[in-house]
Amino acid sequence: MAFAIPKENYAGKVREIVIGKGDKAVKIGGYDSMPLCTFEGTWPNKPVVAMEVYDVAPELNAQGWPPATFEAFKDVINDPGAWAKKCLEYGADLICVQLAGTDPNAQNKSAEEAIEVVKKVKEAVGDIPLIIWGSNNLEKDQEVLPAIMEAFPNENWLFGPAEEGNYKKITASAIGYGHLVAGKSSIDVNLAKQLNILIENLGLSLDKVVMDPTTASLGYGIEYTYSVMERISLAALAQNDDKMQNPFINDLAKEAWKTREAMLTVEEEPTYGEQNTRGILMESITAIDLIAAGSSILIMRNPTAVKVIKELINELYS
């Protein structure tokens, strides 16, 4: 008897989303099978990697970045434009401008300062589409993100995270200034769906929305993110729930690199072994889990982790 591949039938399909415009626009989604199951569906677009550029320079060690990552960017950490270019050299598909410095609990940088940073990145990378990520402060994000949208109208960039507490202002500006929104809900299938519906009800087409189900790191809750993404994907594909058929974005580098496994030096924890490999693996394993769970956009940091993950994406989706 000939071997028959045990295939699943899926009723639904995830929306194809375009970020940016022109030749350099990036497409995600558009798939109609569970992640990596290319043998039973079509995946017109592979997952993409967005590399981070921060609005404030990171520090080395202690509370900052471990050497593995710091070294890779040390020449450019005070120059967002040069930093973004470096990311492209490292193989980034898009650039994610992280506005951590706007957080009132951090440097409390103003919207104007954030606009300056974005401007420098844009000048450096031309038409490469940008993802603009807030500081996760509900109040501040709904002030800063709309200001940037207004300053760069109709670029069709992706802005996030928009949460239940601030999605209204962010979504309204995205509609007004021609951008996309990443809605963030907290590890719950129903909350993810509800946020999509709320955003759509405000008038933004779901063709302009991606979902952040709340991203946790390996060792710090990855299993929750992993399973909620599998459940949302099954709802979208197997049950054809059209309010959940949106691709995922995962802001993972921040989570992976703040773990004690990535941060502790060999002096602090000799039994943990060499620090660089350890940290890079915290990032790359978190990323491969998220790819297996259906991520379309991975926000990443370390060039070695990015290289390995890009290679694996190419192999897995070849």
Partner 1 sequence: MGLTGIQIFKLLPKKNCKECGQPTCLAFAMQLAQGKTELSKCPYVSDEAKAKLAEASEPPIRGVVIGTGDEQYKIGEELVLYRHDKTFFNPPLIGVLFKDTEDDATIDARLKNFNEVSFERVGYILKAHLAVVKNESGDAGKFTALLQKIKDNTKKPIMAMSDDVAALEQAAGILKGTKGVLYAATEENYEKLVDIAKANELSLVLKAPIEKVAELTPKIVEKGFKDIILDTEARDAKTMFQHNTFVRRLALKKKDKAYGFPTCNLIYEMTDDEIKEATIAALAIAKYGGIIVISDCKPEVILPLAIQRLNIYTDPQRPMVVEQGIYPINEPDENSPVIVTTNFALTYFIVAAAIEASRVPTWLVIMDVEGMSVLTAWSAGKFVADAIAPFIKKVGIADKIKHRKIIIPGYVAQISGELQEELGEDWEVVIGTREAADIPAFLKEYVAKNQ
Q: SS3 breakdown of the chain: % helix, strand, coil, rounded to 5? A: 45, 15, 40
Instruction: Determine the interface stretch with partner 1 among 2-10, 47-55, 76-84, 167-175 (rule: CB under 8 A).
Output: 2-10
Exactly one of 226, 237, 251, 298 binds partner 1 (CB under 8 A); which one? 226
Nearer to partner 1, 40 or 116 (CB): 40
* 37 is a contact residue toward ligand B12 (CB under 6 A): no
C-alpha 36, offset from chain centre: 19
Q: Supply the minimum distance, in Å, between the C-beta of residue 253 and partner 1.
A: 14
Cα–Cα distance for residue pair 119/103, rounded to 1 Å? 19
Instruction: Determine the interface stretch with partner 1 among 119-127, 161-169, 207-215, 226-234 (rule: CB under 8 A).
Output: 226-234
- To the nearest 10°, the Cα dihedral for 240, 243, 247, 248? -120
- 187 binding partner (options partner 1, ligand B12, none; Cβ < 5 to 8 Å by kind): ligand B12
Contact characters 187-216, ligand B12, x per CB under 6 A: xx----------------------------
Q: Supply the minimum distance, in Å, between the C-beta of residue 221 and ligand B12.
A: 7
Torsions phi, psi of 191, nearest 5?
-65, -35
- 41 binding partner (options partner 1, ligand B12, none; Cβ < 5 to 8 Å by kind): none
Tokens of 106: 């951090």
Helix or strand holding residue 235 (H, E)? helix 222-237
| Core vs surface per residue 51-78: b (16+ CB within 10 A) or e | bbbbbbbbeeeeeebbebbbebbeebbe
* 292 is a contact residue toward ligand B12 (CB under 6 A): no
Nearer to ligand B12, 94 or 253 (CB): 253
Nearer to ligand B12, 138 or 187 (CB): 187
Q: Where are the alpha helices (DSSP H) in 8-110?
A: 67-73, 80-89
* 108 is a contact residue toward partner 1 (CB under 8 A): no
> Quick check: helix, strand or coil at residue 12?
coil
Q: Supply the minimum distance, in Å, between the C-beta of residue 295 and ligand B12.
A: 19
Q: Which of residues 159-188 bind ligand B12 (CB under 6 A)?
A: 186-188
Using the 8-state DSSP alphabet, how is residue 42 labeled? Answer: -
Exactly one of 89, 201, 267, 273 binds partner 1 (CB under 8 A); which one? 273
- Residues forming contacts to ligand B12 in the complex (CB under 6 A) are 186-188
